[in-house]
């Protein structure tokens, strides 16, 4: 499959016009439109690390269509799919395939016929299946929207992140549906999140996410003494791995929250960290989030979730 899905195959599917998408990516390597680069004393003599390199797109293969993906991945085993649920453990770049959206020969999406679960590794699947039946029985929700990050140090350089008004509206909307007061702006600190995260049945983040690892930017402590460093605001995979979660659902409404690094035992990213810490399921995005579509999706998703 690797020949069919080269490294660049799915790179173009997440690019959205900025007027339709507030960029919730955190410090991406090639798209920095949402950042203001400032010089710091530690980095004032070094050239910018954010210069875009020109790429020759003529060498990149055209991404396969949803129908072609179905024909290559699902069709060969279609006659074996007898149960209503499919558990998929993708290998390497196949993790980027939007399996729920694949179309069969009749134009029906795979998600119309099956309940689909994507698991980052067999180890993660075993952890979920070995959880006691009553392990994820707690109530309560932690909703985080538009943490006030502003100017921070990242790898020795001062970064300034844009505001995310649509993320705030999303968190407020979900809070109203669930009857929960969300953590917004300067109140959405890393300390406040870590204090509440272990006792919430549902966790929702609408914030900046790291474009390569999915790590989440939260508000630094208030009042801040100087410009905050990574440890003050960045919620890392290592920190999530040290927390015991009992959440039934973690929703990461951040651009590229499904991003990962390939390791010997599956893929490693923020989603796997949440699953490894006890979360039952994690909702993530493979690409950038279109504002209006995200608002509509989250509204319908949580309306169905809270419906008796």
Higher pLDDT, 36 or 56: 56
For residue range 149-168, what is the model confidence (pLDDT) as tens digits?
888 888 888 988 888 888 99
Q: How far apart, in Å, are the Cα atoms of 24 and each of 6, 35, 76, 100, 246? A: 26, 11, 37, 23, 26
Looking at residue 114, its pLDDT comes to 92
Looking at residue 293, its pLDDT comes to 81
Please calculate the CA angle 178-306-171 and round it to the nearest 5 degrees.
35
pLDDT band at residue 23 under the 50/70/90 scheme: low
Tell me the whole-structure pTM to 2 decimals. Answer: 0.74
Dihedral (C-alpha) 36, 42, 44, 49: value to the nearest 10 degrees?
-60
Pairing of strands 25-26, 209-210: parallel
- Of 153, 179, 131, give the one whose Cα is nearest residue 278: 131
Looking at residue 214, its pLDDT comes to 75
Pairing of strands 115-118, 85-88: parallel
């Amino acid at each position: 499959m690797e020949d069919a899905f080269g490294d660049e195959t799915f790179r173009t599917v997440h690019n959205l016009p900025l007027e339709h998408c507030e960029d919730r990516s955190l410090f991406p390597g090639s798209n920095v439109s949402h950042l203001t680069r400032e010089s710091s004393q530690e980095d004032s003599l070094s050239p910018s690390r954010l210069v875009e390199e020109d790429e020759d797109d003529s060498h990149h293969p055209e991404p396969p269509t949803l129908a072609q993906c179905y024909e290559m991945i699902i069709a060969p085993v279609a006659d074996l799919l007898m149960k209503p649920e499919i558990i998929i453990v993708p290998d390497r770049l196949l993790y980027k395939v939007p399996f729920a959206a694949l179309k069969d020969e009749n134009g029906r999406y795979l998600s119309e016929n099956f309940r689909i679960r994507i698991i980052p590794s067999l180890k993660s699947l075993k952890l979920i299946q070995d959880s006691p039946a009553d392990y994820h029985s707690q109530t309560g929700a932690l909703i985080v929207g538009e943490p006030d990050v502003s100017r921070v140090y990242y790898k020795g350089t001062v970064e300034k992140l844009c505001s995310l008004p649509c993320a705030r509206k999303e968190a407020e909307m979900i809070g109203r549906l669930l009857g929960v007061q969300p953590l917004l702006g300067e109140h959405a600190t890393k300390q406040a999140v870590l204090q509440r995260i272990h006792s919430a049945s549902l966790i929702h983040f609408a914030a900046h996410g790291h474009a390569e690892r999915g790590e989440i930017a939260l508000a630094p402590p208030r009042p801040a003494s100087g410009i905050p460093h990574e440890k003050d605001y960045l919620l890392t995979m290592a920190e999530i791995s040290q927390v015991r979660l009992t959440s039934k659902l973690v929703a990461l409404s951040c651009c590229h929250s499904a991003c990962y690094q390939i390791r010997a035992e599956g893929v490693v990213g923020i989603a796997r960290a949440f699953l490894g810490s006890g979360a039952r399921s994690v909702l993530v995005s493979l690409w950038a989030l279109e504002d209006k579509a995200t608002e509509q999706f989250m509204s319908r998703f949580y309306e169905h979730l809270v419906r008796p």
